[in-house]
Structure 1
């Protein structure tokens, strides 16, 4: 399984590091606790994960899933255009390739960011507000309950974070803050978070995404993410 991380700007190295460290931990959990690890997947069916940096359009055809990292969404958007990635990204995602956008990556995937003028991939039915919680000094961490991940709550790091203001009818809300602000969502093969899961040691959201990728590659085997009973991570 080849998972790409868009490596134009931002914290792509942190996502690469998480993916590099996932194989052993995933196998360890499969072997040690079969009741609370990876439903429907045994040791033989766990695929090695190859993490690759993506910068050019022709690299998109060689990956099974893509992570869009946090960073400066305006800068990443301009670089996507400069590197002729915009339409290839739209086509690849429309074809079913799983994509995971964190913070700036979520902004880039949204169809609407309040009328601001910047390049967007714009394939997910979301309205997102940039810097919704203030500037750098207003960054924060919180324990975030996510039903699909089970207990304990996920430690979520918000750095100049956006907020999801509204979602379309086909979008599943995965997490909200205590004030009801939406901070994680999924629409078919697209996953977004307003926070940075790559900045903590909790790999459950990355595992969730890897299962989306596995499901897209082997739908008959990895069908757990279509069944709510098989989404607990």
Structure 2
């Protein structure tokens, strides 16, 4: 689920009838949510205009790192498949995880706050991994779909 405007995306999921299709897909296959996609994947969001999919046990705050002018880039250390991998994190009006359940796996942090997480089949990122200059996050995400799923 890409970045964008989460309130609009939430509304369109309902108006288009795609919400149930996404939820059905999520039962068997991995989903990666980036920025606004992270907000939609959360169990709860701090904005009543967003109806999240509740795929990951976390509460997020929209635009918590500031407005567009406050966007920033930082180096991140990610824990992927037991290895530490470096990447560039590009944060554009990024959401912040403000609380989360005990089953959430934290893959990367900024200032001791989770910014890349995994729970079960699903991943979510506060930053835009597609702008990092490498495909480490996406390769890890694709590896999740190669594992057998029990029903």
Please confirm whether the aligned pair reaches a TM-score higher than 0.5, indicating the same fold.
Answer: yes
Pick from 64, 84, 88: which aligns with 2:21? 88
**Which residue is equivalent to 1:167?**
100
| Cα separation, 2, equivalents of 1:132 and 1:101 | 17
1:131 corresponds to which residue?
63
- In structure 2, what is the Cα distance between the partners aligned to 1:197 and 1:141? 11
User: Please, what TM-score do these two structures have when normalized by structure 2?
Assistant: 0.91
Residue 111 of structure 1 corresponds to which residue in structure 2? 43
Q: Does 1:194 align with 2:140?
A: no
Per-residue deviation, 1:122:
1.8
Q: 1: CA distance between counterparts of 2:40 and 2:145?
A: 20
RMSD (CA atoms): 1.7
Comparing both structures, which one devotes a greater share of its residues to helix?
Answer: 1
Residues 88, 133 of structure 2: 8 Å contact kept: no
Task: Specify every segment of 5 or more residues in structure 1 that has no aligned partner in the other structure, as ranges.
Answer: 1-67, 220-233
Structure with the larger strand share: 2
CA contact (8 A) 2:47 2:62 kept: no
Q: Number of paired residues?
A: 149
In the TM superposition, residue 175 of structure 1 has moved relative to its aligned partner by: 1.1
Please report how far the alpha carbon of residue 91 of structure 1 lies from its aligned counterpart in structure 2 after TM superposition: 2.3
Bigger Rg over Cα = 1
Check whether the contact 1:101–1:192 (CA below 8 A) recurs between aligned residues: yes
